[in-house]
Amino acid sequence: MVHQKEYTTIVGPDDNKKKRGGASFKIFSGIAATFALASGGYHLLRSNDAVGSNFDISLISTTGIVQEKGSIGRRGKYMYTYDDTVSNNCETVLMIGVGTAMTSTQYTILSKAISTGTSIVTVIFDPNPGNIVKYGTKDYANFYNTFTTDLGSRLPVCQGKSPKIIIGGHSASGRGGLQAMMHEGVKPDGFVGLDPYQASKEEIKGIGPSYAPATSIRSDLPMLVWGYEKTTCGIDINLAAKSAYELSGVKNRVFFRANNSNNRNVRHCEFADHGCLVVCPNSKPNNNVKDIVAKSIQVFATSVLNGGSIRPSDFHFDTSNDSVPIDVFIDSDTVQ
């Protein structure tokens, strides 16, 4: 476990300067608490909220949020996030693998939004640190098995608890997770795919990135996937979230689709803080979309806690935002 005590200066709306810890810190803000409690923990404050244009969106929405870095040697690095003000924290552990060329510290905004006001411990992990390739089936399975076997020492907040385990991944790690369930005996309680790639029904012949293994998904596995209407960053929509949804069981699946035809700034790497820095950067991240991604995961985690049954009414919440329309497909719905 790595505990760093670096500090960053934060300028608040009144231009007063504060300090907060770097990799290991708690954020306590009276302003944030007011907004978080008023919204039931679901609201990630947006840049146009009335708190001043200089205030960091990734900080004002969180109160009592703890973030820690950790490492399992060659098997991977991770950052976990939880809300220290929640009395029953660690009912659920969400393990999301990073996308191609990404690291475990590049999804902090989404992690905070997911864990704020909830019992979810969000773990962002890199199963192949030092290498841009993240789709390795064995890499994913090795990290998962090592991490969950000794969960209490990896996540002290979970000591003595038996949480539900939801796995998933962004982009290439999404493929790694799907394949790990097929071939390496990984058996989580649910799966979250952040535009997982590739999720092909049939094997696609090729060399390197052009090759894709055949994918099958347990029909009883609760599935939540996020994807897009139009291809961005070279990620074929027909081999990503849409396909993963269609391969899932028809009684326990949900697909949120961002209709980005008229806003190509909303792209495959929307889930990361600033896009994927090597292949798909985004200097203008759409944090209001992350807000909705976080809420969908919170609702999904509750469904998993309640046995994995998907109730359509739970996912028909307001998805309006300033960036893109969002469609929701559930269970037997056909993607148009």
Confidence (pLDDT) at 284: 81
**pLDDT tens column, 163-205:** 999 999 999 999 999 999 999 999 999 999 999 999 999 999 9
- Structure tokens that stand for 315 in this block: 């996912």
Is the Cβ–Cβ distance between 76 and 249 less than 8 Å? Answer: no
Instruction: Work out the end-to-end distance of the chain between its first and last CA atoms, rounded to an integer number of angstroms.
Output: 46
Query: What's the helix, strand, coil split of the chain in %, to 5?
Result: 25, 25, 50
Confidence (pLDDT) at 63: 66
Confidence (pLDDT) at 146: 98
Domains with residue ranges and CATH for the chain: 66-330 (3.40.50.1820)
- Mean pLDDT, all residues of the chain: 85
**pLDDT tens column, 263-319:** 988 999 999 999 998 789 988 888 999 999 999 999 999 999 999 999 999 999 999
What 53-58 contacts at long range (C-beta under 8 Å, 24+ apart), as own/partner pairs, is: 54/11, 54/12, 54/13, 54/15, 55/11, 55/12, 55/13, 56/10, 57/109, 57/287, 58/108, 58/109, 58/112, 58/273, 58/287
- Does 139 have pLDDT greater than 90? yes
**pLDDT tens column, 155-174:** 999 999 999 999 999 999 99
Confidence of residue 210 (pLDDT cuts 50, 70, 90): confident
* DSSP state letter for 158: G
Integer angstrom CA distances of residue 208 from 98, 136, 212, 294: 19, 12, 9, 32
- Does 56 have pLDDT greater than 90? no
CA dist., res. 99 & res. 174, Å (int): 8
- Structure tokens that stand for 83 in this block: 């809300």
Integer angstrom CA distances of residue 87 from 64, 133, 263: 12, 38, 40
